[in-house]
Amino acid sequence: MIAALRRFVSRRVGRRLFLLFIVSAFLPLAALAALSFMQLRDMLLQQGEQRLAATAKGYAMTLFERLLLASDVAAAAAGRGAGPPATGSLARLSLHSLARVEPDGRVVAVFGNPPLEPLAPAVRERIEEGKSVVTVKPATGGARVTITVPTTRGGEGAAVAEILPEYLWQPELFPTETDFCVLEEKSRVMLFCSTKIPDDVLAATVPAPSEVPSALLATRWLRDGEPQRSIAWTQFLRYAFETPDWVVVASQPESFQLARLLEYQHIYVPVVLLALLIVGWLTIRQARSIVGPVVQLAARARGISRNDFESRVEMDRQDEFGELASAFNQMSSQLGRQFAALTALSEIDRLILSTPDTAQVVRTVLERMRAVVPAHFIGVTLFDHDAPGHAHSYFSETNSTEGLAYARATLRTEDYELLGRNPDGAWVALVPGSRGILGVLAERGLKVAYIQPIVWRDVPCGALALGYRDETSGGDEERRQARDFADRVAVAVSSAWRDEQLYQQAHFDPLTGLPNRLLLKDRLTQEIARGQREQRRFALLFIDIDRFKNVNDTLGHTAGDAVLAEAGRRIQGCVRDSDTVARLGGDEFTVILTNVHDPQDAGHVAEEIVAMLSESFEIDGQSTFLSASVGIVAYPEDGTTAEDLLRNADTAMYRAKAAGRATVVFFEETMNAEAVSRLMLDRDLRQAITKGEIAMHYQPLLDLRTGVVCGAEALMRWNHPEHGPIPPARFVPVAEESGFIDELGRFALDEACARMKAWRAEGLPVKRVSVNVSPRQLRKVGIVALVQQAADGAGIPHECLEIEITEGLLIEHADSVEGLLRGLSASGVKIALDDFGTGFSSLAYLNRFPIDTIKIDRVFIDGLGYKRDSEAIVVAIIAMSHALGKSVTAEGVESAAQLEMLTEFGCDSIQGYFVGRPMPAAEFVAFVRNRAPEKATAPILPFLSR
């Protein structure tokens, strides 16, 4: 019990219940016990007091009666003539001695030794009245009580008797535990005392003498430490015996009065204690029946917090605690399943993040579901991404020892309908012979299945199935879990497909579906590694479609895209499956031809590609003809790294373009040397201006109507200290490529403007100097300001400066260039369109841009006189230009015949060796001066032929 109590109070709830018990049961019970004990004691004391008073009164009455009896006995025994009474007679039993008072006053002894003194007058008088007199004389150990009674009616005779103390007091008849003391009231003479009472107690107990009896007084005092109770009763004697009243003091031990209390105490205390114990025991028992389950449930809750979902709360009770325990166990199991499911889901999440392998994710899903979902069959069917109408089914039977199984399924329309109609899953009754995604389940004798579609981007991409052997289907919990796991599979599928998409996007060209530059490099690196390993050769073709830009500009980008896609297909058609065709971007394609023994084989393939790309492209009902230039490199002869091979193939392709396009060119080491030489050239060029190696030469322009040198084209010349004169056609492209063209261009502009200023100062008739501006230079921010600054810096009107731009620039950068040209034109600077006719000459350009002069390319002038179409083209250009209000300059005029024809065609001015070659500034001045102003209107030919 103590141990149980200790265990019990060690719990907080137990302590509280225990305190509650103390406060609500123990204290009231104890208080009630104490109160009733006190009341009972008071009551017993009160009763004792009353009994004691009655005892005292009764004793006093007995004394009175004994006195009366003694007086009668004395009177009778002392009657006249009576002899001594017989022994044993009443007189002998009650009287100590007896004397007779004769009528003559003599006192005669009847028996014993009575005092024989004559009666005192007062006594005599009383006797004569027929009344008795009691006198008391103190004596050792008490007092002698004498009674005098008349023996005759007249009072002549009397009897004097001393009363036997034993008779009078009769202590043997005292009630138990009761002592009496009798004292005379007035004199306080103690007549008798069975046990001595202290004087102070007597003083406090005995009332003061009075005519009327006073109230009983009770006192409590100690005798030898033991409480005593005393009470006094005054017996009226004065009228009957002419003697002071006697006071009877009765005493009893308090314990005697409380004797019943002690008895009661012996029963009451054990009963109260027993009641308390019973209450306590019941309280503990009841509290334990509350605390015990609470402790158990708390321990179980702690167990759950430690992920222990298996243990159970064992509580075989039919009350609320029993229900709570059962609910707790259910909750624990459910939490366990949910925890297991969440753990499985998080494991799957981690797996999804770490592997792109959908099958592995599906396997893990099935394994984890087996542990969590109480279904007889769990399966995942995934639609075959690459084979529409087919699916992969992975499944697992929960009570089978076999692991994961796999089957291929053919999908039916009903499958798609089932999944499409029930995105949140559906219960399906299985019938033998079911096909599609239900086939695997039906084959295993399952009766019912829950089918949860696996949805990605709102489209089912598979299904998760839970199969059951009996009709009683699983609950909501399984359905929820099925949905969660299906979501994970969907994420895995989407993740895998997205990875695939990302891979596709990163490695394939979306337009043609061909590998892009990244994948090409990868494959090239692999091929190099294989080549090294297996001593095998391969070839790399670099294909660029000639003038592809024209297609975009004239037919639009959609058409351009269609041409590129078709070009990719045609190239692909020319090679084996083992070869790699890639699109590098724009109109550039490459082909890795694996296992090439003879480079000539690569040449044949390249020729075939060129031929295929030369065939017409039918775009939007229009036939478009293109060509391609192909550069070829062979591994390992032309490079051993992907970068080297690509660069060299590119170089070869450029060489093919330079060779007239629609050509195949094998890379040669000399091509590489050329690239190196270009680098050297660029390095030297950067110092050429400061070293004074660059100079501007001026080629005259002759006005065909006046024969006057009306202008000059500024052409750059570089006199290299080691290599001698280097033509601009060689170093200008290098400068363009390296960016140094900006500086060269600025130099040309400044030089030409300065020269123009000098010519004007010298009075030369030259109205304008034209400067070639490269496309890159023109597209540079600030070109307008730069040109204006050059003119303004030299102090020449803007009209004296002409900018020569190429047709290609207008075609390739029409939008960005238009504003610049308008800016220049607005400032007065003239604009000439160089090399007209060689590019994609279009009337639209002439109209759109602020061009002042059209310069007909040399190739058309060359053909004048012997090429009909050249003549027609020149005539058309002149007519068209004039119609648009533009002047025309013919370039490269080298003969009088050409001059004549051009004059005839109405050309405005000419430029060419026939008029004069580009010459240093000083020579140019002399040249112009030779053409005297007065001769300016003379026929031109004689002037020129001089």
Ligand X SMILES: Nc1nc2c(ncn2[C@@H]2O[C@H](COP(=O)(O)O[C@H]3[C@@H](O)[C@H](n4cnc5c(=O)[nH]c(N)nc54)O[C@@H]3COP(=O)(O)O)[C@@H](O)[C@H]2O)c(=O)[nH]1
**Could you list the residues that contact ligand X (CB under 6 A)?**
699, 713, 715-716, 727-729, 732, 748, 772, 774, 834-835, 858, 891-894, 911-913, 918
CB of 726 to ligand X, least distance (A): 10
CB of 777 to ligand X, least distance (A): 7
CB 183 within 8 A of CB 190: yes
Element (H, E) at 732: helix 728-738
Closer to ligand X at the Cβ: 479 or 767?
767
Element (H, E) at 92: helix 90-94
CB of 849 to ligand X, least distance (A): 18
Q: SS3 for 110? A: strand
Give CA torsion, residues 236, 238, 243, 247, to 10 deg: 20
Q: SS3 for 764? A: coil
Closer to ligand X at the Cβ: 351 or 940?
940
Closer to ligand X at the Cβ: 668 or 742?
742
Count of beta carbons in the 10 Å neighbourhood of residue 662: 17
Count of beta carbons in the 10 Å neighbourhood of residue 606: 27
Closer to ligand X at the Cβ: 545 or 800?
800
CB of 779 to ligand X, least distance (A): 13
Closer to ligand X at the Cβ: 492 or 910?
910
Closer to ligand X at the Cβ: 228 or 774?
774
Question: How far is Cα 284 from Cα 282, in angstroms, rounded to an integer?
Answer: 5
Rg (CA), the chain: 74
Closer to ligand X at the Cβ: 253 or 733?
733
Q: Which token pair is 584?
A: 């590098």
Q: SS3 for 272? A: helix
Q: Which token pair is 589?
A: 């394609």
CB 767 within 8 A of CB 676: no
Count of beta carbons in the 10 Å neighbourhood of residue 176: 7
CB of 912 to ligand X, least distance (A): 3
CB of 916 to ligand X, least distance (A): 9
Closer to ligand X at the Cβ: 70 or 771?
771
CB 371 within 8 A of CB 344: yes
Closest by Cα among 388, 383, 496, 473 to 425: 473
CB of 700 to ligand X, least distance (A): 10
Sheet order of strands, 190-193 included: 190-193, 179-184, 246-253, 226-235, 218-223
CB 15 within 8 A of CB 291: no
CB 380 within 8 A of CB 362: yes
Count of beta carbons in the 10 Å neighbourhood of residue 185: 22
Q: Tokens 């500024």 map to which residue? A: 714
Q: Which token pair is 617?
A: 């492209």
DSSP category for residue 231 = E
Closer to ligand X at the Cβ: 206 or 716?
716
CB 912 within 8 A of CB 902: no
CB of 730 to ligand X, least distance (A): 9
Q: Which token pair is 229?
A: 């109770």
CB 844 within 8 A of CB 880: no
CB of 828 to ligand X, least distance (A): 21
Helices 2-9, 12-21: axis angle to 10 degrees equals: 110
What φ, ψ does residue 709 adopt, rounded to 5°? -75, 100
Question: How far is Cα 245 from Cα 134, in angstroms, rounded to an integer?
Answer: 11
CB of 772 to ligand X, least distance (A): 3
Closer to ligand X at the Cβ: 413 or 945?
945
Question: How far is Cα 678 from Cα 760, in angstroms, rounded to an integer?
Answer: 39
CB of 498 to ligand X, least distance (A): 50
Closer to ligand X at the Cβ: 14 or 837?
837
Q: Which residues of 126-152 are buried (b: 16+ CB within 10 A; e: fewer)?
A: bbeeebbbbbbeeeeebbbbbbbbbbe
Q: Which token pair is 706?
A: 């006046």
Helices within 431-470 (DSSP H only): 439-443
CB of 690 to ligand X, least distance (A): 17
Closer to ligand X at the Cβ: 312 or 686?
686
471-473-479 Cα angle (round to 5) = 155
Q: Which residues pair with 31 in a beta bridge?
A: none
Length of the chain in terms of residues written: 946
Question: How far is Cα 35 from Cα 32, in angstroms, rounded to an integer?
Answer: 5
Instruction: Provide CB contacts within 8 A for 211, sequence distance 6+.
Output: none
Closer to ligand X at the Cβ: 175 or 808?
808
CB of 859 to ligand X, least distance (A): 10
CB of 704 to ligand X, least distance (A): 15
String of DSSP letters for 337-356: HHHHHHHHHHHHHHHHHH--
CB of 738 to ligand X, least distance (A): 14
Q: Which residues pair with 919 in a beta bridge?
A: 698
Closer to ligand X at the Cβ: 173 or 729?
729
Closer to ligand X at the Cβ: 483 or 776?
776
CB of 695 to ligand X, least distance (A): 10
Pairing verdict, β 853-856 and 830-836: parallel
Closer to ligand X at the Cβ: 280 or 728?
728
Closer to ligand X at the Cβ: 161 or 919?
919
Closer to ligand X at the Cβ: 152 or 719?
719
Q: Tokens 């503990």 map to which residue? A: 284
CB of 767 to ligand X, least distance (A): 18
Q: SS3 for 57? A: helix
CB of 643 to ligand X, least distance (A): 31
